[in-house]
Structure 1
Amino acid sequence: MFNQLLLSDLVQEDQEELIQMINPEEGEELKKEDLPEELAILPIRNTVLFPGVVIPITVGRQKSIKLVKKAYKGDRIIGVVAQKNVKTEDPALEDIYNIGTVAKIIKMLVLPDGNTTIIIQGKSRFEIDTVLEEEPFLTAKINLLENSFPKKSTKETKAIVQSLKDAAGKILKLNPEIPQEAQVALDNISDPGFLTHFLSSNLNAEVADKQKLLEINDGMTRATLLLEQMLKEIQLLELKHDIQKKVHTDIDAQQRDYYLRQQLKVLQDELGQDGPDQEIDQLRARGDEKKWPQEVKKHFNKELDKISRMNPASAEYPVAMNYAELLVDLPWDEFTEDNFDLKRAKKILDKDHFGMEKVKDRIIEYLAVLKLKQNMKGPILCLYGPPGVGKTSLGKSIASALNRQYVRMSLGGVHDEAEIRGHRKTYIGALPGKIIQNIKKAKSSNPVFILDEIDKVSSDFRGDPASALLEVLDPEQNSTFADNYLEVDYDLSKVLFIATANSLETIHPALRDRMEIISLSGYTQEEKTEIAKKHLVPKQKKEHGLKSTDVKFHKKALTKIIDGYTRESGVRNLERQIGSVARHVAKSIAMEEEFDKTITDKEVVEILGSERFDKELYQGNDIAGVVTGLAWTQVGGEILFIESSLSKGKGKLTLSGQLGDVMKESAMAAISYLKANADDLGLDHKVFDQYDLHVHVPAGAVPKDGPSAGITMLTSLASIYTQRKVKSKLAMTGEITLRGKVLPVGGIKEKVLAARRAGINEIILSSTNKRDIKEIDDRYVKGLTIHYVDTVDEVLNLALLKEKVKKPIKFTFTEAKEN
């Protein structure tokens, strides 16, 4: 407020001349006859001119300069109006307020920078009537507005004047920036109209608020509104004063704390204790020894500088220290040296894991490329297979073969994105993501990193971790992995990521696209026996405190455990059962009881009890409609039987055995094909209308689905309708079309192994599945006859014998009655 009092410095007038300049006698209102017929209108920004008030204005626009120069040479009378928008460069009539103040130019100064400054004094308020010209500047006819304060002073006038002066006095006391001459100026103002104009002009308010005061005709109303504005300003100044006082007190407290901390530092130095500054110096020294990127080093030193300015007693201090320690603990550009002895690596892989030739070859290939190129982005491998086949433990063997550090992160049930990407430091209890935490634990930037159970990642309102993994597992992006907590990019491109999964269907499609899928199928009985002999039995002996000479497992005993007590693709349950036998032996040794040191199949039954699983075996072909199919499950391949039966009825179809939609559709397609080709099979069409068909897949409590049972169902239906025998010890898998084509299916290796376990001699497959058989080791298909077919007719010719079953159904048909 009272900014206009600085005018004395500009015009080089002393205090008396300034008071005289703002005296209402000099600012006396003009009469209409004193005004020219055409009044030049000068738009001004950021302020409003009031009658009687003297203000300086810097004129910069060409139109305004022309106006001022012409007026200064003449009667020096102009109209001053405030702009509505200060950004408008060339204001028209609609861009200015309609009410302004007639002003007289007291003095014009041309400053050294080329700008023109004029000193003007307001005379009378006016309202624009008619615009006469817009060029070279705005010219208009105006109507003068009278001052409505009563000439004779009343009690109300005296009261409002005194209130305004008291409020102005408070503002002067609360604002030390206002010069003391302001109080002298206020004491010399006696006219209530000029007082309101003077205070309104110097009020710390927006232009729109000042314009509102100018436009009010009634003097008492204007004075009352002005008083309200001044009281608001007093409240703001008092609040500002209180805040400044409080801040000053806080600064004094900080100075006191600093003094006490300096004394504490001296005492700690005397006692030989590490203080906060010493901890920071130690971190800085460690940082100087680190081999890290220049931008990370710069960021680290910046953080230390920030910590050194903090109060050690503040809540932010330990958070900042933990962050700095994480930065210096991470292995930036620190790598373990890879071992490129490929023969040694192959020997380690063969020793630790039996089978898995495809996976081992892939690791040897990776080592070979790394050896030749000396630089290669880490591939993202995904080991896919049923539980217990050794996916996770394979990672340790790979790390050992490569001479790298080994870290493992379980993703099962992870549903918070921050587990992968970390929290932002602004959150309470913020931590880096598990990726960065494990890299820190490994103390190397090129470990073998196992992402276990990647197919079991879930998501909720806290984010989608699978999406956060996209950057981690993209070889083109993970060189600049961004952790929310870390704030600087970390290079993960040298990390060998190996993911494991039991199912590919539940993996995020974009995530799956970034990984190289390597399938680990189940083990055969022979492989399980070898794994048990070489790995599981020695391991369980060691875990149960047994010496190698305390007990031996006969091969028949291991085969008995595999066939009768486990049903899985892997060897996890097999290890548990061997552990049960080892505990029994350990108990006998501890209690000094007699026991047979050679475990045979008989001892296995005595120790483990009766067999828990019946071996899936071929059940003969004496009954029509029973066909052996092959199915894939997460625990490996299995055989299943499809049974069909006919009974006198009205052609009703019943499907049972908890069949899924795919298997139901396979049954419908098989029936449609038989109906369409009944003549070729020698079937009477009446059998479809006068006999009810029931198709059942045993083990009804187990849900079944998948596109593998098409030719099996067709063969079963063809057998029951023709009453012909199905070829003995034959199994099949494949899907059909209504045209009679046989389509390929998956899981061939697991299904072939299941057929061997069940004693099957022949298998029918689609011709397209020949490529899958070529990938299977010859020892697994030895002794099996595999027929490759393209059409359903070939399947029926191979599967159905000419011979009828012993007790065929004698079909009887009822002739349809004519209406």
Structure 2
Amino acid sequence: MKENKEFLFSDMENMIMPVIMECDADDDFTQGMDRVGELVPILPLRNMILFPGVALPVIVGRVKSMRLIKEAVKKKKMIGVVCQKELETEEPGYDDLYNIGVVASIVRVLEMPDGNTTVIIQGKKRFELQEITTSEPFLNGRIRVLDDSRPEKDDPEFQALVSTIKDLTIKMLAASNEPARDLIHSFRNNQNVTYLVNFSCSNLPVTAEEKQSLLRIDDLRDRAYRLLFLLNREFQLLQLKASIQMKTHEDINQQQREYFLQQQIKTIQEELGGNINELEIKELREKAALKSWPAYVGEAFERELRKLERLHPQSPDYSIQTQYVQTIINLPWQEYTTDNFNLKHAQKVLDKQHYGLEKVKERIIEHLAVLKLKGDMKSPIICLYGPPGVGKTSLGRSVAEALNRKYARISLGGLHDEAEIRGHRRTYIGAMSGRIIQNLLKVGTSNPVFVLDEIDKVSSNFKGDPASALLEVLDPEQNNTFHDNYLDIDYDLSKVMFIATANNLNTISQPLLDRMELIEVSGYIMEEKVEIAYRHLIPKQLDAHGIGKDIIKFPKKTIQKIVDAYTRESGVRELDKKIAKLMRKLARKIASDEPVPAQLLPEDLYEYLGAEEYARDKYQGNDYAGVVTGLAWTAVGGDILFIEASLSKGKGGKLTMTGNLGDVMKESAMLALEYIHAHAALFDIPEEMFENWNVHVHVPQGAIPKDGPSAGVTMVTSLVSAFTQRKVKKNLAMTGEITLRGKVLPVGGIKEKLLAAKRAGIKEVILCKENRKDVEEINGDYLKGLTFHFVEDISEVINLALLKQRVENPQF
């Protein structure tokens, strides 16, 4: 037992179990009261109320209480017993005690084996505590003894009242875990009505405050009525507990213990008519009332919420069901942001954040215009394809800003699990919704701009085919009822604007390609890269490296040198890295207080970026017959290449091709030779030359693979020049495919090829007539200084490209 505290001797349901004392029917328990004066020692008790006639065992622990007991036993004095208001009070004063107590006599003092002292006290008469006179060596108080009014002995109403109280008390004693049969027998045979009422008051399993309210009542009849009310209340609670235990009673073992406890809780919930988590369920229903979702969603939500109500919070399924219900209610069902229909604003945003990409911008503005006029339409599925680093992914964020929509993005690179798109079924442990639904939860709207990055990198294995799962997502006729396995409710994706990005269309399945509107984002030309660096990359890197904009300037010719000599790419990612490298060098100089030039010139780049990494081919003149300049498209932009043809004496007219040529390019060379052979008279070539001379066709830079049909006209011109030894016109380049009949066919990559020609110093370009439309789409500022010749037949090419002047060759 803890020190300085009074404890109960025994209990029933954590309440006091008084000791039965033998007494006569007419005993009024006032024996010895003539020795009680105005001043008595006061014994404060914790959570215990003594009633007249009732005997209580009390374990005494406080030092002052021990002194009081010893003094009272020694002098055979009565004591005043009062309950203190707060359990924690160690040194109670007058304000800490109830003002109604009971004068008591000490019946017996017992020394317990554990060293504690137990005192049995019996109540005599009630008193009113008027003041505490002294607190040492123990409490002493001034009291006024109170008289109880008692009904007549033969009052039938009172007798019935006492009898009812007696029966209820016996039932409650019998219903205790370990009923004391001797105690019940003694109580049943006791005929003293005062004792019976007061004993029941002491034995009542209620709070000390309610017992104190019983002790305050002077009239015994009124006290009995109040006691009967409390007894009825407590007995009904006891019956309810017993009913719950009976409903859940069964033979259980150690393995059934958890199940038994859960059944008890469920029964309690049924009896209470509610759920322990009623507040949480109520909050979910209040949120649901604010939702404007379809009727079938509301029905599904209510069905799942009722399941949640039936689960106990400790159940393993409770957290799973809660997560599912939260997913349903947090999804933005029919919640949309308002599109900004200001076309000028949209154009301004797109132009500010991305230079070039005119086709893409035009498509977005068209979509916005239709939305403005019609008010509603299924959002398009756009696929931006092109080389890395050209801004396909970042364009999605700009589109979202232009349309005033939320932005969502998922990377599909390396995705091989179909569940990442459709989600897992709820039967699996750790199930969750797919990335589409997760991102809609994150952005909180049903019409975001949704970027599906690297859609060409999706792979499939035994876990499923995510590309096939995307068919439903990206089909405007299906995605208005998109089915996520976890959600298991159809969701409308038709208002989402999907923008897919890809580097290579060849790896995307044909059904998926068929559902998307393909927009090519070609590589940037030199001029566009310079503008992008000047407007975006350099300001960004200046800020990232803590260099002020006024410290150093970057002329466009310097940027052009960086692009031309230090990068070789379609996009601007490598350019951004080179600018960052340059900024680090500048930052070191500034931090070291070294002088920094006010303007960075092209000749200063060696100090910051080292030696030039790439050298572009330049036009080399027309001093040799058989050397013709062609135009080529590469993944890093346009370039020029030289087709060289030479003849050597030998029987059979053998054709040799070198320069790491692909099959298509080799076929172009063979086709060119066959065409020239068939039309030798047209070009004044003697027939015997094909029998007595071997032909060698070479394309320099043999380490670089080359392929494609666009060098056809170049090879014909080169071979005719070699056979006739006629010079090629100065500053001339050409591109185009040929047929066996001599027709010139159109080729692609015209924009990149023409800009490469301009950089190399070419003045005239020969193209297929059908490529005129491609030239007209290019900004005229980029084509200044170039003259175009559009042809349909190879004979036109020869007449334009070859001069009458011949090169002196001793072999001929």
Band of TM-score, shorter chain: 0.5 to 0.7
Alpha-carbon shift at residue 646 of structure 1 (Å): 2.3
Quote the Cα distance in structure 2 between the aligned partners of 1:389 and 1:510: 26
Q: 2:365 matched to which residue of 1?
A: 364
Alpha-carbon shift at residue 260 of structure 1 (Å): 5.0
Q: 2:607 matched to which residue of 1?
A: 606
Alpha-carbon shift at residue 264 of structure 1 (Å): 11
Alpha-carbon shift at residue 322 of structure 1 (Å): 2.0
**1:801 is paired with a residue of what secondary structure?**
strand
Q: 1:307 matched to which residue of 2?
A: 308
Quote the Cα distance in structure 1 between the aligned partners of 2:692 and 2:463: 60
Contact 1:386/1:636 (CA < 8 Å) preserved in 2? no
Q: 1:585 matched to which residue of 2?
A: 586
Contact 2:729/2:802 (CA < 8 Å) preserved in 1? yes
Contact 2:472/2:479 (CA < 8 Å) preserved in 1? yes
Quote the Cα distance in structure 1 between the aligned partners of 2:319 and 2:755: 60
Quote the Cα distance in structure 2 between the aligned partners of 1:449 and 1:318: 30
Alpha-carbon shift at residue 693 of structure 1 (Å): 2.2
Contact 1:344/1:401 (CA < 8 Å) preserved in 2? yes
| Letter in structure 1 aligned against 2:393 | T
Q: 2:262 matched to which residue of 1?
A: 257
Quote the Cα distance in structure 1 between the aligned partners of 2:731 and 2:738: 22
Quote the Cα distance in structure 1 between the aligned partners of 2:461 and 2:537: 40
Alignment of 1:366-405 (within 5 A): 366-405=367-406
Alpha-carbon shift at residue 611 of structure 1 (Å): 0.9
Q: 1:745 matched to which residue of 2?
A: 747
Quote the Cα distance in structure 2 between the aligned partners of 1:764 and 1:782: 16
Q: 1:452 matched to which residue of 2?
A: 453
**1:797 is paired with a residue of what secondary structure?**
helix
Normalising by structure 1, what TM-score? 0.65
Quote the Cα distance in structure 1 between the aligned partners of 2:608 and 2:742: 53
| Closer/same/farther in 2, CA of residues 640 and 255 from structure 1, 3 Å limit | same
| Closer/same/farther in 2, CA of residues 585 and 254 from structure 1, 3 Å limit | same
| Letter in structure 1 aligned against 2:386 | G
| Closer/same/farther in 2, CA of residues 368 and 809 from structure 1, 3 Å limit | farther
Quote the Cα distance in structure 2 between the aligned partners of 1:430 and 1:402: 34
Quote the Cα distance in structure 2 between the aligned partners of 1:707 and 1:457: 31
Quote the Cα distance in structure 1 between the aligned partners of 2:755 and 2:589: 37
| Letter in structure 2 aligned against 1:514 | R
Quote the Cα distance in structure 1 between the aligned partners of 2:251 and 2:529: 79
Alpha-carbon shift at residue 773 of structure 1 (Å): 1.6
**1:740 is paired with a residue of what secondary structure?**
coil
Contact 1:529/1:555 (CA < 8 Å) preserved in 2? yes
**1:552 is paired with a residue of what secondary structure?**
coil
Contact 1:378/1:495 (CA < 8 Å) preserved in 2? yes
Quote the Cα distance in structure 2 between the aligned partners of 1:693 and 1:459: 49
| Closer/same/farther in 2, CA of residues 374 and 248 from structure 1, 3 Å limit | farther
Q: 1:661 matched to which residue of 2?
A: 663
- Matched residue count: 561
Quote the Cα distance in structure 2 between the aligned partners of 1:514 and 1:657: 41
Q: 1:785 matched to which residue of 2?
A: 787
Contact 1:521/1:749 (CA < 8 Å) preserved in 2? no
Give a deviation string over 1:316-366, Cα, whole Å, max 9, x none: 333332222221221111111111122222221221122222222222221
Quote the Cα distance in structure 2 between the aligned partners of 1:503 and 1:779: 31
| Closer/same/farther in 2, CA of residues 679 and 589 from structure 1, 3 Å limit | same
**1:518 is paired with a residue of what secondary structure?**
strand
| Closer/same/farther in 2, CA of residues 412 and 689 from structure 1, 3 Å limit | farther
Quote the Cα distance in structure 2 between the aligned partners of 1:740 and 1:572: 42
**1:303 is paired with a residue of what secondary structure?**
helix
Alpha-carbon shift at residue 266 of structure 1 (Å): 13
Matching of residue 549 in structure 1 with residue 554 in structure 2: no
| Letter in structure 2 aligned against 1:412 | G
Quote the Cα distance in structure 1 between the aligned partners of 2:758 and 2:276: 73
Q: 1:767 matched to which residue of 2?
A: 769
Quote the Cα distance in structure 1 between the aligned partners of 2:619 and 2:667: 26
Structure 1 gaps, min length 5: 1-244, 812-819
Of 660, 672, 675, 2:674 maps to 672
Q: 1:757 matched to which residue of 2?
A: 759
Among all aligned residue pairs of Structure 1 and Structure 2, give the percentage whose two residues are the same amino acid: 59
| Closer/same/farther in 2, CA of residues 307 and 679 from structure 1, 3 Å limit | same
Q: 2:515 matched to which residue of 1?
A: 514
Q: 1:479 matched to which residue of 2?
A: 480
Q: 2:539 matched to which residue of 1?
A: 538
Normalising by structure 2, what TM-score? 0.65
Alpha-carbon shift at residue 539 of structure 1 (Å): 0.6
**1:505 is paired with a residue of what secondary structure?**
helix
Alpha-carbon shift at residue 301 of structure 1 (Å): 1.8
RMSD: 2.7
**2:505 is paired with a residue of what secondary structure?**
coil
Matching of residue 333 in structure 1 with residue 338 in structure 2: no
Structure 2 gaps, min length 5: 1-249
Contact 2:791/2:797 (CA < 8 Å) preserved in 1? yes
Of the two, which has the highest radius of gyration?
Answer: 2
Quote the Cα distance in structure 2 between the aligned partners of 1:344 and 1:428: 48
Q: 1:283 matched to which residue of 2?
A: 284
Q: 1:164 matched to which residue of 2?
A: none
Alpha-carbon shift at residue 247 of structure 1 (Å): 11
Quote the Cα distance in structure 2 between the aligned partners of 1:295 and 1:449: 26
Quote the Cα distance in structure 2 between the aligned partners of 1:296 and 1:738: 66
Of 784, 794, 797, 1:795 maps to 797
**2:718 is paired with a residue of what secondary structure?**
helix
| Closer/same/farther in 2, CA of residues 430 and 653 from structure 1, 3 Å limit | farther
Alpha-carbon shift at residue 766 of structure 1 (Å): 1.1
Of 704, 708, 718, 1:716 maps to 718
Give a deviation string over 1:692-733, Cα, whole Å, max 9, x none: 322222222222222211111211222222222222222211
Give a deviation string over 1:388-441, Cα, whole Å, max 9, x none: 222222221111111111112222222222222222222333332221111111
Quote the Cα distance in structure 2 between the aligned partners of 1:265 and 1:538: 69
**2:409 is paired with a residue of what secondary structure?**
strand
| Letter in structure 2 aligned against 1:254 | Y
Contact 1:723/1:809 (CA < 8 Å) preserved in 2? no
| Closer/same/farther in 2, CA of residues 298 and 615 from structure 1, 3 Å limit | same
Q: Which moved more, 1:276-285 or 1:569-578?
A: 276-285
Contact 1:621/1:728 (CA < 8 Å) preserved in 2? yes
| Closer/same/farther in 2, CA of residues 642 and 445 from structure 1, 3 Å limit | same
Q: Which moved more, 1:247-256 or 1:451-460?
A: 247-256
Quote the Cα distance in structure 2 between the aligned partners of 1:264 and 1:619: 94
| Closer/same/farther in 2, CA of residues 727 and 460 from structure 1, 3 Å limit | farther
| Closer/same/farther in 2, CA of residues 677 and 319 from structure 1, 3 Å limit | same
Alpha-carbon shift at residue 459 of structure 1 (Å): 2.5
Contact 1:377/1:475 (CA < 8 Å) preserved in 2? yes
Alpha-carbon shift at residue 263 of structure 1 (Å): 7.8
Q: 1:109 matched to which residue of 2?
A: none
Quote the Cα distance in structure 2 between the aligned partners of 1:255 and 1:361: 69
Q: Which moved more, 1:515-524 or 1:617-626?
A: 515-524
